[in-house]
Structure 1
C-alpha cells in the first residue's frame, strides 16, 4: 500500500478511509483507500474491506454511467478506488451556500434515488461545488435499495445540514425530479414526527424520575 501511494498526498482522513491526491496517466486523480481495522479478525476484516470497496465502486460507476453528477471512477483495486479529481469547494466549508446551487442539491439526490441508490450520508460535507455545478461525493455508506424510507432518511440528513429556507429550495427541486416524491416526502414527515415523539417521551420520563 505504501509504495502504491508514494507519489500521492493525503488530503483527508475519515473513520474508515484515507483520501489521496495524485496523478494517473498525466491527469489529476483522487484515491480513496479503505484502511485495515486491526481489532477485527484478519480474514474477516479483509473480506469486509474488499466487499465494501467493490460495492462503493459499483454504485459510483452506476451513478456516473447514468449521467449523475459524481466523480468519474477510473480504477478499482482490492481496497482502493481511483477517481477523477473534481476542482471545487465542499459546501460545508462555505460561509453560505449560493442560492443557485440549492435546486441542484435536490436534483442530484432525486437522480440518485431514481436509480435506487441510497447515498447514506447526503449532507453538505459530501457535496462539492464546481462553479454552478454540484457533485455528490463519498459513497462509502451508499447502498442499492428501493426503500422509500431509506430515501426519506437521505432527505432528513440533508435537511439537518441546511438552513430551513435552503432545504425548502432543495426539496422543491427534489420533488420536481423524483419519480416518487409524494411517498418519500410523506415518509420524511412521519420519521420527523416519530423523532419528536421519542424526544418528548424521553424528556417526560426524565422529569418523572
Structure 2
C-alpha cells in the first residue's frame, strides 16, 4: 500500500487488483436485488473448502454457466445441463456443489413465492438492519454468529443444500447484512454513512 492508497481490511491481498476491486465496490455493501443475492449465495456455496479468491477468479465462468444467475432458468436445469456443467472447466466441477446450486435455485423461488422476495426473507434475520461489528485485527473476524446460525438452520429446513453457518456468515458479510470492514478500513464508515443517508 502506498501513501496515496486508503487503508483496507487486513484480510485483503492488495497485490490482486480484482480482489481490491471486489473489496472496494461490493463486499459489505447492502444488497436487496434477488438476482445478485442468488449469485452471492451460489458462489459462497461453491467456495466451501476453498478460498474466496479461487471462486472470484471463476466468477465470469459461473455467470456464463449459470445463465447469469437467472434463478428461474437455473431451477429448470435438467440432467443434460448437469452433465454439461460437470465438464465445464470454468467452474468448480464438484458434483454435490453443482447439484446443490440447481436445488437451491428451486428452493430460492419457493421463498420468493412465500415472502415476495428472497431479500425480504433474508434481511429479516438481522431485523432489516446492518449489524456493524468492530473488527481491529484479522483474528477478530468471527466465522459464524447467532444470526448466521438461525439463517442456516432455516435454509436447511427449507431444503437448501451445501449450506452451513460459516457459508451463511460469509454471505451475510458479502451482501451487507453484516458490516465487517475493519475499524481502520475506509469502507466501514463509508457504508455506514451511505446507510444513514438512505434512512434519512
Class of the TM-score when normalised by the shorter of the 2 chains = under 0.3
Q: More relative contact order in 1 or in 2 (CA 8 Å, sep 6+)?
A: 2
More strand by share: 1
Greater Cα radius of gyration, structure 1 or 2: 1
Task: Give the TM-score of the pair, scaled to structure 1.
Answer: 0.26
Task: Give the TM-score of the pair, scaled to structure 2.
Answer: 0.27
